[in-house]
A and B are shown apart, each in its own frame.
Chain A
Amino acid sequence: MKIYVSRDMASVALGADDVAKAFADAGCEVIRTGSRGLFSIEPLVEMETADGRIGYGPVGPWDVAAVLDGSHPNRLGAVDQLSFFAGQQRFTFARCGVIDPVSLTDYAAQDGWKGLDAARTMTPQAVVDAVKVSGLRGRGGAGFPTGIKWQTVLDAPTGDKYIVCNADEGDSGTFADRMLMEGDPYCLIEGMAIAAHAVGGTQGYIYIRSEYPFAIYTMRLAIERSAHLIAPFTLEVREGAGAYVCGEETALLDSIEGKRGQVRAKPPLPALKGLFGQPTVINNVLSLAAVPFILAEGAEAYAAVGFGRSRGTMPVQLAGNVRYGGLYEIGFGITLGELVNDIGGGTASGRPVRAVQVGGPLGAYFPPSMFHLPFDYESFAAAGGLIGHAGITVFDDSVDMAHMARFAMEFCAAESCGKCTPCRIGSTRGVEIVDRIMAARPTPPSVMPAKAGISLPEGGAEEKGDPSVRWDDGVLGKALYSRSPARIDTSIDAQTTLLRNLCDTMKYGSLCALGGFTPYPVLSALDYFPEDFGASPSPNFAPLKEAAE
């Protein structure tokens, strides 16, 4: 009896290893796959029958007998017929959850290497043109056209050129890179090999965050097994070391070079002076993994799906407090509300959805009144947000949005590389300002501190006052006078204005997206949920709370 059990890290976290062992002990042939991508049915087992693969889930190791005789109540039937899967357009994730991830035979049998074979019959320029025609844009978040990036590298003078895959998927609420690397690693390898053929690359690096031990293991194994198929191109996995900022492409390059992961000023573009100062293609996992389909099925087939200038599919990740969380690959243009309510099924807690954060820690918080937004780069940018890596984190009505705004600043302070001032210092000042707002807001009265007793951490020390300094003396004196803690206007209005000014400075003054985008969650929380900051709902966005319910 053939039994398929996922070995995806999320499935294992839910107990898939014990389930697999129980079936093996019962004499079944157990094949470990990636995850199908719906976590409410994990651990999922699929049994091979005359009618195809029949799924049961969630199941535990104690369910072996009931699954084998078909009497288990969690019988799902054919998994790809479930409504969660039937509506998807799986271009990139077609094989994920279906095949043994590191079996070359399985990969080849399911259209693997077709894209690379096609690319090898084409000139490099023709491959780059195909990627351009497909309309593929950087799936890491910035949405820059992939074909243009490749063209720049192709046109760069010959010499060593590198293909770098950014697999430092640090955004909370995203796991598509991890799932693909664990569930279909050859797809990424094939995409990178096509990129190498297109631009003349000789060596590739996959930079994977250390928080993804399963992905690191699977990719290394897959690289070893497929080395002969992509030669003379060579690939190597580099393991990150817990720095979120290394997801920024230039910080990532510095990290591979063995340096602190600090952001480089651009220009020069990495396409011209990237890794080790050489022309470098640096793309996200999902961008590179979309390429085999484009070459195998044709650029037009990919571009035929989508919305506006966002072509093709996006593997959307439904996360947080959501009932049916998981990976949903679909053409651009589906609305946020369809994703959260119809596909995600609302919250896991059963309470009303109050906010969703789209695009990770640097993405905006949207209330349900914005659920009409189509999932597309331009629509989200126009609404003051970003789709980022397409993670959607759902929150129910117990969320305190001032706390989430504070967390955004706290996270930026913890992860800032320290190179530019708005990000390094602004994030810490931002935490302090939100703290003052939270202390001054009317509820809950039990935790409300005495107004005069608000003390400033650290930064306040210098203003304590040396008696020999006369506050009104000269320019410095005046500056110190105005910054004296006793004179800071800690009213909510004043602090909110200060927070908006700070966000403005960070947004336009930071070197990279970490400092530059941290204002998105903060400002969107302020704009859409002013009541959490002690203000009356703003007329522009009222009445939000009611709309949410």
Chain B
Amino acid sequence: MEEFIEGWTARHGATRDQLLPLLHAVQEEAGYVQDAVVPVIARALNLSRADVHGVVTFYHDFRRTPAGRHVVKLCRAESCQARGGAAIEAAAAQRLGVAMGETRGDGAVSLEPVYCLGLCAVGPNALVDGRPMARIDAAALDRIAAEVAA
């Protein structure tokens, strides 16, 4: 990871405002921002470890532990709720065998809340491994579950 961070800062600069882009890059590379990499980032950008830790933990996007092999992000915001989102959330948890905000024991899937994907007239909506899906219903949950099992 140290080499990756060195190479990245060489290309993009090592100023403080590069912290979020660097954290995104680290997460894309490693899947998460492990605690061990925090001091490396701090050194690279000349910040304190506490400072970097504070930023990592502030933003919902940054993970400190690996996600499941598949990530299902389900919208919990008002417009999806108005279209039956709460029932779909409960059904998704049951169908995928994992509680909202958790990763399943076998590491196959993480179910995560997201607050609005901006597809508010066609909810309930989800991002399945980065792919947007609208009008989630029982049949769509079956397809997602099959994808996760594959």
Contacts and interface: CB of A to CB of B under 8 A. Distances in A.
A238 B20 CA distance: 9
Interface stretch (A102-110, A172-180, A304-312): A172-180
Nearest to A210: B61
B135 to A, nearest CB: 7
A415 B23 CA distance: 20
By CB atoms of chain A within 10 A, which of B45, B115, B135 has the most? B115
Contacts of A480: none
A212 B125 CA distance: 13
A346 interface: no
A177 B75 CA distance: 18
Contact of B55 (A259, A404, A407): A259
Interface bracket on B = 35 or more
A361 interface: yes
B134 to A, nearest CB: 4
Interface in B55-76: 55, 58-62, 75
Contacts of A417: 58
A241 B26 CA distance: 13
Contact of B120 (A172, A240, A244, A396): A172
Interface residues of A, number: 62
A318 B79 CA distance: 10
Contact of A241 (B59, B81, B114): B59
A531 interface: no
Contact of A174 (B21, B61, B120, B123): B120
A262 B123 CA distance: 30
Contact of B82 (A175, A257, A393): A393
Interface in A75-133: none
Contacts of B21: 238-239
Contacts of B120: 172-175, 317, 319-320, 325, 391, 393
Interface stretch (B11-19, B91-99, B102-110): B11-19
A242 B61 contact: yes
Given A172-B78, A258-B16, A258-B18, A13 B125 contact: yes
Interface string A231-247: 00000001111111000
A325 B82 CA distance: 13
A201 interface: no
A14 interface: yes
A524 interface: no
Contacts of A42: 122
A211 B19 CA distance: 19
A176 to B, nearest CB: 9
A260 B83 contact: no
A399 interface: yes
A499 B17 CA distance: 40
Interface in A237-272: 238-244, 255-262
Given A171-B116, A211-B117, A241-B24, A39 B122 contact: yes
Nearest to B126: A13
A514 to B, nearest CB: 13
A357 B54 CA distance: 34
B80 A172 contact: yes
Given A241-B61, A243-B59, A257-B17, A39 B121 contact: yes
Interface string A38-68: 0110100000000000000000000000000
Nearest to A258: B19
A163 interface: no
Contacts of B16: 257-259
B77 interface: yes
Nearest to A415: B115
Given A318-B121, A411-B115, 4 more contacts: A172-B120, A212-B118, A258-B18, A259-B16
5 contacts: A210-B24, A255-B20, A258-B16, A261-B59, A322-B121
